Structure 1
Amino acid sequence: MIARYSSSIRLLVCTLSLVGFALSCNTKDTSEQTTEQTTAMAAAPTFDADSAYGFVEKQVAFGPRVPNTKAHEQAGDYLVRTLEQYGFSVTEQKFVATTYDGKKLNARNIIGSYQPQASKRIMLASHWDSRPFADQDSTRKTQAVPGANDGASGVGVLLEIARVLHEAKNKPELGVDIVFFDAEDWGKSAVTSDGNYAGFCLGSRYWAENRHVPNYTAYFGILLDMVGAKNATFPKEGFSTKNASEVVRTVWNTASQLGYSTYFIDQQGPAITDDHVPVNETAKFPMIDIIHTRVNDLSRTFFDDWHTTEDNMDNIDPKTLKAVGQTLLQVLYNEGQPNV
């Protein structure tokens, strides 16, 4: 993903490598606080953080999920099997992606649909691939990233949500599409003129242009990226507040009511070019990004071990997974109440 900032019309190069790269945007540097509104909370099931942790651990055990590797193939098959096990209708969207440096990747987006007959749908997404080179590592820059937090954490949360929905006695009256985007993290870690994406977000860009169901749309979407680290902070991402402010307000208010405001920070964060951007711009429905960025610290945008070989299970805290997963479940059940 790409971080963008605007401050006195200067380009702030602070992300995606030690040299980093940033592209200007019109997000505000000042905090945009939202007046909290009390929402009637539906009876939602319990999100099991230990189970979510196990789903993260299982992915990491395959090895780095770098496209064109055996670990990537095995991990993808595991995601398909797990979604099917929980009663989801699964579509594998296979495609060949071309990287910024001309490599051809055998990639696949994996889409699991819950209650596919429902007209009101919410899309939940995360990327499932790992970065092929640890460009932020101090010494092992050519090694692949394990991707425990950057990738597997979001997938783990969504697999646990799939399990809970499958086993719940009371089910929300809506459809849920869980989308695992591939080939998100094979981008160029430098300032580039390669459009707005610098080689990132290949899977979501493909999906937005070739949706798994013709003219697919959702009431709204929520993307998860780096949602497992200890003491993670999720300020309101810039493109999310620009394109889907009501969804941001709903999610952050729900988190606050559940007692998770130390994670879901009521403060404007940077704009991050991530998998939600092509959904907003090309698929044309509102999608937000719950992504760990530092609050009031422009020296480093993401968590300490981002894009290093140390992005392993040591980074994953069940408490953070719980905060994110329980919030999403509550949002689903609030939206899925009759006549809502």
Structure 2
Amino acid sequence: MSFLFNKFINNKLAILFAIIIGIYGCKSNTSSEQTAEQAPPALVKSADFNADSAYQFVQKQVDFGPRVPNTAQHRACGDYLVATLKKYGWQVVEQPFTATTYDGTKLNARNIIGSFNPQASKRILLTSHWDSRPFSDQDSLVKNKPVLAANDGASGVGVLLEIARVLSKEATKPDIGVDIIFFDAEDWGSSGSEDTGLEYSGFCLGSKHWAANKHNPNYTAYFGVLLDMVGAKDATFFKEGYSVQLANDTVRQVWATASRLGYSNYFIDETGGAITDDHVPVNKVARIPMIDIIHTHQNNMSKTFFDQWHTAHDTMEHIDPKTLKAVGQTLVQVLYQEAKDQPL
């Protein structure tokens, strides 16, 4: 009886073991199939973004001095931006306009639009503002001095100029259209102490004008990326709130690409605050899903942006080529991935 019982038990155990193995095998195969299906596409070979070249583009803008609208320095820098895009073979459109600031000042401004592969139907929009703030209202000593704006303005423009150079020089160019817009008159807004009653507190005048008066009335883009304050050492780019709300697919794409390139110490995988910036009118008026890559501090009520923001100390000594590289190489990779992975 004992033998028969043990044999019965052994047979039951053998059957149970076989069932468990079968179930585990099915689950393993299913899991492997799901993992394969969910795995991101391989990174395609992209062009190399040169951080030193981008740094020099930032330096060149700063060498003009503060690029405050209605000044000679502003006009000269604008001419330089136009000439540089043309030198790299980009089709350029200038969009002059008159803007009225929150304090009633009339600005002679211009948005500068450059187009790469202008015949392509699928287009990606990259933007930054190129003007300087006319006063250092966040400075503890010299509040009336115009901001040199190495980071808050020139860094984003420098990254985009390097992308323009890279795309023009590559033997194998991405089969996609790219547009760069340098928005003007972004930074002449209220410091917050005045109740202007104006949309965006008087900021974003150039992007607001372009969104309502696109250089090509039928222009559209698959998605857009705004760069703002992207050059400081050890910068942190949280997922900006409006970007997550209005263009979350693009947020995920850009942050995932940055992570795969090894830049997750810059592109933080957390949602930050919502910032009123040039991407807002592009989203809401032009109806183009655009995200904002912007340097912010998380959970710090006294310091939202980088330390030298809107002060006389926003100078070249605080610009780090490593940060420019992280942002620029991420965007170049996104462009090449988009050209390969998405239908035109």
Q: Do the two structures share a fold, i.e. TM-score over 0.5?
A: yes
Q: CA deviation at 1:299?
A: 1.8
Residue 100 of structure 2 is aligned with which of 93, 98, 101?
Answer: 98
What secondary structure sits across from 2:224 in the alignment?
Answer: strand
Residue 66 of structure 2 is aligned with which of 64, 67, 81?
Answer: 64
Residue 273 of structure 1 is aligned with which of 273, 276, 283?
Answer: 276
Runs of 4+ in 1 over 4 A off after TM superposition: none
Q: CA deviation at 1:42?
A: 1.4
Residue 215 (structure 2) pairs with residue 212 (structure 1): yes
Q: Is the 8 A contact 2:129 2:183 kept in 1?
A: yes
What secondary structure sits across from 1:265 in the alignment?
Answer: strand
After superposition, the Cα gap between the structure-2 partners of 1:101 and 1:86, relative to the gap in structure 1 and judged at 3 Å, is: same
Which whole-Å CA distance do the structure 1 matches of 2:85 and 2:336 have between them? 20
* TM-score, scaled to structure 2: 0.87
What is the CA RMSD across the aligned residues, in angstroms? 1.1
Residue 185 of structure 2 is aligned with which of 183, 186, 191?
Answer: 183
Residue 184 (structure 2) pairs with residue 170 (structure 1): no
Q: CA deviation at 1:193?
A: 4.9
- 2:328 corresponds to: 325
Tell me whether 241-250 or 190-199 shows the greater mean CA deviation. 190-199
Q: Is the 8 A contact 1:39 1:254 kept in 2?
A: no
Which whole-Å CA distance do the structure 1 matches of 2:133 and 2:196 have between them? 21
Tell me whether 184-193 or 257-266 shows the greater mean CA deviation. 184-193
Which whole-Å CA distance do the structure 2 matches of 1:302 and 1:310 have between them? 14
Which whole-Å CA distance do the structure 2 matches of 1:79 and 1:220 have between them? 23
What secondary structure sits across from 2:226 in the alignment?
Answer: strand
What secondary structure sits across from 1:206 in the alignment?
Answer: helix
Q: Counterpart of 1:179 in structure 2: which amino acid?
A: I
Q: Counterpart of 2:192 in structure 1: which amino acid?
A: A
Which whole-Å CA distance do the structure 1 matches of 2:110 and 2:192 have between them? 26
Which whole-Å CA distance do the structure 1 matches of 2:259 and 2:342 have between them? 24
What secondary structure sits across from 1:289 in the alignment?
Answer: strand
What secondary structure sits across from 1:278 in the alignment?
Answer: helix
- 2:7 corresponds to: none
Q: Is the 8 A contact 1:38 1:253 kept in 2?
A: no
Which whole-Å CA distance do the structure 1 matches of 2:220 and 2:58 have between them? 28
After superposition, the Cα gap between the structure-2 partners of 1:122 and 1:339, relative to the gap in structure 1 and judged at 3 Å, is: closer
Q: Deviations over 1:66-108 (max 9, x none)?
A: 0000000000000000000000000000000000111100000
- 1:224 corresponds to: 227
What secondary structure sits across from 1:81 in the alignment?
Answer: helix
Unaligned runs of 5+ in 2: 1-37
Which whole-Å CA distance do the structure 1 matches of 2:90 and 2:196 have between them? 40
Residue 309 of structure 1 is aligned with which of 312, 321, 326?
Answer: 312
| Structure having the larger proportion of residues in helix | 2
Q: Counterpart of 2:216 in structure 1: which amino acid?
A: V
Which whole-Å CA distance do the structure 1 matches of 2:285 and 2:218 have between them? 11
Q: Is the 8 A contact 1:276 1:288 kept in 2?
A: yes
After superposition, the Cα gap between the structure-2 partners of 1:126 and 1:311, relative to the gap in structure 1 and judged at 3 Å, is: same
Unaligned runs of 5+ in 1: 1-35
Based on CA coordinates, which of the two structures has the bigger radius of gyration?
2
Q: Is the 8 A contact 1:93 1:108 kept in 2?
A: yes
Which whole-Å CA distance do the structure 1 matches of 2:132 and 2:183 have between them? 11
Q: Is the 8 A contact 2:52 2:321 kept in 1?
A: yes
What secondary structure sits across from 2:203 in the alignment?
Answer: coil
Q: Is the 8 A contact 2:242 2:280 kept in 1?
A: yes
Q: Counterpart of 1:236 in structure 2: which amino acid?
A: K
Q: Deviations over 1:96-122 (max 9, x none)?
A: 000011110000000000000000000
Q: Deviations over 1:39-66 (max 9, x none)?
A: 3211101000000000000000000000
Give the 5 Å matches for 1:130-209: 130-190=132-192, 192-209=195-212
* TM-score, scaled to structure 1: 0.88
Which whole-Å CA distance do the structure 1 matches of 2:83 and 2:303 have between them? 37
What secondary structure sits across from 1:251 in the alignment?
Answer: helix
Q: How many residues align?
A: 305
Q: Deviations over 1:206-238 (max 9, x none)?
A: 000000001211000000000000000000000
Q: Counterpart of 2:292 in structure 1: which amino acid?
A: D
After superposition, the Cα gap between the structure-2 partners of 1:156 and 1:271, relative to the gap in structure 1 and judged at 3 Å, is: same
Q: Does 1 or 2 have the higher relative contact order (CA < 8 Å, sep 6+)?
A: 1
Residue 50 of structure 2 is aligned with which of 48, 60, 67?
Answer: 48
Which whole-Å CA distance do the structure 1 matches of 2:97 and 2:340 have between them? 37
Residue 111 of structure 1 is aligned with which of 110, 113, 120?
Answer: 113
Q: Percent identity?
A: 67
Q: CA deviation at 1:338?
A: 6.5
Which whole-Å CA distance do the structure 1 matches of 2:76 and 2:54 have between them? 19
